[in-house]
């Protein structure tokens, strides 16, 4: 029960925190930090859904019979690297935006207002 609260609670907290940062912050760098936090929260959420009580890492061996679900781990393995690359691309776009508008505040960038 305690581990349920810790893992589900912290992943939901990370996801909510990321969404709040992305939606309410005005600085583009802070919004990307929020995206990164959201990414970590989603990964943690997938991994903790795949956990099975008493399970070990899904590396088959004679000594271990109970293993955790390998499918979410396989998904998250690639998602982490893709997340890094997409984050770097977003930062590159921010570099270009700063070069053009001279500010990172989205309230002052007229073309990006919502």
Partner 1 sequence: MMKDWFRNIIGVIIFVIVGIFLYSVVIHNTFGADKMVLGNHYVKDGVQETGAQNIVTTIVVLYRGFDTLGEVTVLFLAATALGAILAGFRDKKKNKKKTRASLIVSITTKFLFPMIILFGSYIFIHGHLTPGGGFPGGVVIATAFLLMFLADPYAFVSEKKLSISEGTVGMLYVITGLVGLYLFQNFLESFLPTGSPGTLLSGGIIPVIYVLIGIKVGSELTGLLNNLREDENAI
Q: List residues near partner 1 by CB under 8 A.
A: 3-4, 7-8, 12, 15-16, 19-20, 23-24, 45, 48-53, 57-61, 67, 69-71, 73-74, 77-78, 80-82, 84-86, 88-89, 91-93, 95-96, 99, 114
**Between 20 and 29, CB nearer to partner 1:** 20
* Helix axes of 28-49 and 2-24: crossing angle, nearest 10 degrees: 160
- The token pair at 66 is 């109970």
Shortest Cβ distance from residue 23 to partner 1 (Å)?
Answer: 4
Distance, first Cα to last Cα, the chain: 42
In the 3-class helix/strand/coil scheme, how is 68-92 assigned residue by residue?
A: CCHHHHHHHHHHHHHHHHHHHHHHH
Shortest Cβ distance from residue 109 to partner 1 (Å)?
Answer: 14
Shortest Cβ distance from residue 63 to partner 1 (Å)?
Answer: 12
């Amino acid at each position: 029960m305690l581990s349920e609260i810790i893992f589900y609670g912290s992943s939901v907290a990370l996801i909510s925190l990321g969404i709040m940062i992305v939606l309410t912050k005005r600085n583009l760098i802070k919004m990307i930090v929020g995206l990164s936090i959201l990414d970590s929260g989603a990964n943690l959420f997938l991994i903790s859904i795949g956990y099975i009580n008493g399970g070990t890492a899904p590396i088959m061996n004679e000594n271990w019979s109970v293993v955790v679900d390998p499918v979410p781990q396989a998904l998250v393995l690639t998602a982490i690297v893709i997340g890094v690359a997409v984050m770097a691309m977003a930062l590159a776009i921010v570099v270009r935006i700063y070069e053009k508008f001279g500010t990172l505040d989205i309230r002052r960038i007229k073309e990006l207002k919502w």
